[in-house]
């Protein structure tokens, strides 16, 4: 799977430069976590990768075709059943939905029994699991996740992190989060965003295979060090 590269990318909102001649390489087939304080530009970078925004200078290479997007809001269509929401990509592409595969994905996220329910009948965590199944159903090589677990309670969050890491392990995933623990559990690479225009610092990830075990002392130590570093950046804003 291709690496994604920012090649001398400059982007500004109006007169405010967000990044200038930014060069960064994101390894294909791995999970890169983007961390940084609020308003630093994480979502803007994701939107540049998705092609929803275009750089004023430079280019982004390595993204061919459309990407999958999963955000904080599940964006399920209320008039479609859970199963129909999962198969949405087929509807949008005008191809025959693969009901068997969609049901298998719902089983993987432990929602097979609510396949015919309406989204409003589900809890927030269940709805995010439907969104995850829908993301997987689309079978994109590049998956962009913008704080997908931010609104969930801690136990649901841990379960969904584990599931996501297992189900997306061969994909090129860019995950935005504010949570150092989430970064340390899920990342193959951690990029810390700071400054204006944006600078990127690569942060060492703890050893071990993703998703890393929550009980691992090395993970907790790494989380604490990462939190301290983030705190120094927050104080400069
Ligand atoms: N549509 C827009 N028009 C003008 N400025 C924008 C727009 N969207 C974002 N910005 C600005 O770009 C900067 C980066 O925003 P962005 O949403 O990328 O940050 P973020 O790191 O994702 O923040 P958060 O963690 O709060 O979601 C902010 O200063 C924001 O005000």
Q: What is the pLDDT of residues 194-220, one digit of tens each?
A: 999 999 999 999 998 899 998 889 999
Judging by beta carbons within 10 Å of its beta carbon (0-12, 13-18, 19+), is residue 150 exposed, middle or buried?
middle
pTM > 0.80: yes or no = yes
DSSP state of 56: S
pLDDT category, 236, cuts 50, 70, 90? low
Write the residue with the smallest CA distance to atom 10 of ligand 1. Answer: 13
2 vs 44, 137, 138, 158, 201, CA distance in Å? 21, 21, 18, 29, 22
Dist. CA 209 → ligand 1 center (Å): 32
Mean residue pLDDT of the chain comes to 92
Write the residue with the smallest CA distance to atom 25 of ligand 1. Answer: 38
Write the residue with the smallest CA distance to atom 1 of ligand 1. Answer: 13
Ligand 1 is surrounded, with C-beta below 6 A, by 13, 18, 36, 38-44
Give me the interface pTM, i.e. the ipTM: 0.97
């Amino acid at each position: 799977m291709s690496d994604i590269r920012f090649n001398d990318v400059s982007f500004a909102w109006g007169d405010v430069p967000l990044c200038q001649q930014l060069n960064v390489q994101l390894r294909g087939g791995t999970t890169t976590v983007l961390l940084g304080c609020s308003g630093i530009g994480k979502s803007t970078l994701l939107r540049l990768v998705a092609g929803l925004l275009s750089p004023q200078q430079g280019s982004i290479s390595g993204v061919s075709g459309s990407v999958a997007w999963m955000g904080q809001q599940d964006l399920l269509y209320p008039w479609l059943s859970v199963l129909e929401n999962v198969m949405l990509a087929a509807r949008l592409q005008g191809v025959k939905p693969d009901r068997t595969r969609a049901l298998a994905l719902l089983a993987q996220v432990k929602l097979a029994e609510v396949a015919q329910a309406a989204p409003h009948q589900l809890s927030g965590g269940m709805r995010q699991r439907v969104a995850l199944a829908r993301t997987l159903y689309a079978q994109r090589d590049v998956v962009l996740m913008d704080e997908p677990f931010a609104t969930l309670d801690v136990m649901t969050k841990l379960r969904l992190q584990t599931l996501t890491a297992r189900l997306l392990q061969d994909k090129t995933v860019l995950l935005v989060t504010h949570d150092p623990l989430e970064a340390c559990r899920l990342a193959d690479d951690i990029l810390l965003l700071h400054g204006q225009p944006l600078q990127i610092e690569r942060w060492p990830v703890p050893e071990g295979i993703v998703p890393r075990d929550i009980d691992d002392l090395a993970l907790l130590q790494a989380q604490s060090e990462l939190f301290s570093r983030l705190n120094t950046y927050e104080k400069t804003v």
